[in-house]
Structure 1
Amino acid sequence: MRILSRAGLWSARNGLFCLVLNAFCGGAWAADLLAWREAQAMPDLVEHMEVWLDRHTDLPRRAVAPEIRLTSTATVARLAPMRAASDASHTRGLYDPDSETIWLVRPWNAKNPYDVSVLLHELVHHRQAVHGHWYCPGAQELPAYRAQQAWLNALGLEPDVNWVAVVLESGCTTRDIHPE
């Protein structure tokens, strides 16, 4: 018996999902849902994600797209030391509202739906930067993770998210709580 690697299982699952989509949902809908995979360059992929956000969120699109850069975990630690200290091994992306730049942590692959969902998450932050009032930066996380989850769920996938941590961060509560 041959045991598939993690990548092999992911590919097999994706292929099966595509077949099911085509069989039960019609080819046009499935093709629309998977159109992001055909993007030839980052601007094309960003446009696919922006269209999805236009259709599935109330956040208006910004006139200027963010700059997208691939980087290392060390750069993210330098850009956001508090965030990196709390979850350095899990940080896959970061949005810098001052420079309007999305930093995606390598290795990052435009054909991997989990990596693309990180881009989608950061695009939500780009839209949030000029829309709405946020009591703290963490308050923006829950809507961004919900959009990321909805996109992955549409593909038949589940995000690997610690929802308790996201809800706590979104609550803007003081972190130094000690019962005495």
Structure 2
Amino acid sequence: MLGPSPISLWLVALLMLASSAWADAIVRLDPEPEWRNTESITELVEVFDIWLDQNTDFQRPKNSPTIEFVSASYVASIQGSSASSFGQTRGLFDPDSSTVYLTLPWDRKNPHDASVLLHELVHARQVARHYYCPGAQEEAAYRLQDDWLRERGLPAKVNWIAVVLESGCSRRDFHPD
């Protein structure tokens, strides 16, 4: 009975080394990986609150918002006609009930999903400030979400033209009446 050839052993060793180097690169890429090690949404909110305290001048609310996981159809029903047409809504903050709605499927270990929670926590902090329209809050929230993702070497999936237009609070319909 023949054992593995030297070439196949070499390939296995090379693959193990490459996967180990890749894993090390991912670990080094995230300067603050404690968000991945959280065991609950409450712990993740605390990690994000600390990050926001260190990276913004938005004051932390006295009470953390309630977090609810909901279907896309539920989010659409509470958004109503004010819904943006720039893609699927992954999260929503309701300032009246101080509730963050996260659209399922959502995984706190996925950095893009986690960044949606961060974005909504920014909105929870913006409640104390005056804005000319709800859309004016979006640019700051997206910029912070983008900063957090970039710290991890990840691109934000943001349509910046749409964000700037939304943040401008301008009328959408320029046609004469």
What interval of TM-score do these two structures reach, taking the shorter chain for normalisation? Answer: 0.7 to 0.9
Tell me which residue corresponds to 2:23: 15
User: CA–CA distance in 1 between the matches of 2:52 and 2:80?
Assistant: 29
CA contact (8 A) 1:35 1:48 kept: yes
Deviation, structure 1 residue 15: 3.3
Distance change >3 Å, CA 177–CA 41, structure 1 → 2: same
Q: Which amino acid aligns with 1:176?
A: D
TM-score (norm 1): 0.81
Tell me which residue corresponds to 1:98: 96
Q: Show structure 1 runs of 5+ residues with no match.
A: 1-10, 23-29
Deviation, structure 1 residue 90: 1.8
- Give the length in aligned residue pairs: 158
Moved over 6 A (4+): none
Q: CA RMSD in A?
A: 2.2
Q: Which amino acid aligns with 1:118?
A: V
CA contact (8 A) 1:67 1:100 kept: yes
Larger-Rg structure: 2
CA contact (8 A) 1:17 1:156 kept: no
Deviation, structure 1 residue 120: 0.1
What is the CA deviation profile of residues 103-147 of structure 1, one whole-angstrom value per residue up to 9, with x for unaligned ones? 0000000100000000000000000012x2100000000000000
Q: Which amino acid aligns with 1:168?
A: L
Q: Show structure 2 runs of 5+ residues with no match.
A: 1-18
TM-score (norm 2): 0.83
CA contact (8 A) 2:136 2:167 kept: yes
User: CA–CA distance in 2 between the matches of 1:70 and 1:165?
Assistant: 26
Deviation, structure 1 residue 19: 4.3
Tell me which residue corresponds to 2:51: 52
User: CA–CA distance in 2 between the matches of 1:16 and 1:83?
Assistant: 44
- Secondary structure at the residue paired with 2:101? strand
Structure 2 residue 76 is the aligned partner of structure 1 residue 77: yes
